[in-house]
Chain A
Amino acid sequence: DTGVSQNPRHKITKRGQNVTFRCDPISEHNRLYWYRQTLGQGPEFLTYFQNEAQLEKSRLLSDRFSAERPKGSFSTLEIQRTEQGDSAMYLCASSFGGAAFGSPLHFGNGTRLTVT
């Protein structure tokens, strides 16, 4: 179990630029989640994949955000035309089975985005 891996750890970009983050989940996990965490707040859900299918998206996920999970393995989160309000820690988590039945989410260390 190598854990959930996220790259890059930090990203600084100028407003208006596009950025892409990558998440490699634990290999046998079929569920993958993206969250966003701002300073002093709890993580907020963005989107969820089961295998390669994106099954739920939060209202927080504007049309500038897009996520993919080709082949049900790694996932990418792209933000187009970044805004200063996008500055946050972006967290990826994976699980095998549903959390409502006790399967915990395993989190990566996150990608910290700073938009200047």
Chain B
Amino acid sequence: GDSVTQMEGPVTLSEEAFLTINCTYTATGYPSLFWYVQYPGEGLQLLLKATKADDKGSNKGFEATYRKETTSFHLEKGSVQVSDSAVYFCAPAFQGGSEKLVFGKGTKLTVNP
């Protein structure tokens, strides 16, 4: 069945380090792919998205590329900041039915100065 697997944390980095959070999915079709972020004490916010193969979503210095051949949507940032400390969720939306988002377990990122 349709599912998502996300790299589990926690992840602790120093400021200006490179970040990768892995996300892979299993699907019978071609889902749209989303990354959401949850900052401490705040609600879920859309970070970026991609709707078809080879699309690159980007926002706030974060990027993720829709890789159909590897069914992946890894999140990357070249130089993290303390303000990026948050929990990040990968969430495909599979075709059919409610087209709900199916969330990964989340990866908690802490960036130290």
A residues with a Cβ closer than 8 A to B are: 31, 33, 35, 40-45, 48, 50, 55-56, 91, 93, 98-102, 104-110
Taking CB atoms and an 8 Å cut-off, the chain B residues in 59-113 that contact chain A are 89, 91, 93-106
Q: Can you show 24 pairs from A to B with CB atoms below 8 A apart?
A: A35-B103, A40-B105, A41-B106, A42-B91, A42-B106, A43-B101, A43-B103, A45-B98, A45-B100, A48-B98, A55-B98, A56-B97, A56-B98, A91-B43, A93-B101, A99-B93, A100-B32, A101-B32, A104-B34, A104-B49, A105-B46, A107-B44, A109-B43, A110-B43
How many chain B residues touch A (CB < 8 A): the figure is 28
Given contacts A33-B100, A48-B98, A107-B44, contact A100 B93 (CB under 8 A): yes
Contact of B105 among A33, A41, A98, A104 (CB under 8 A): A41
Query: Smallest distance from the beta carbon of B44 to chain A beta carbons, Å?
Result: 4
Query: Smallest distance from the beta carbon of B93 to chain A beta carbons, Å?
Result: 3
| A106 to B34 alpha-carbon distance, docked (Å) | 12
**Nearest opposing residue in chain A for B89, CB measure:** A42
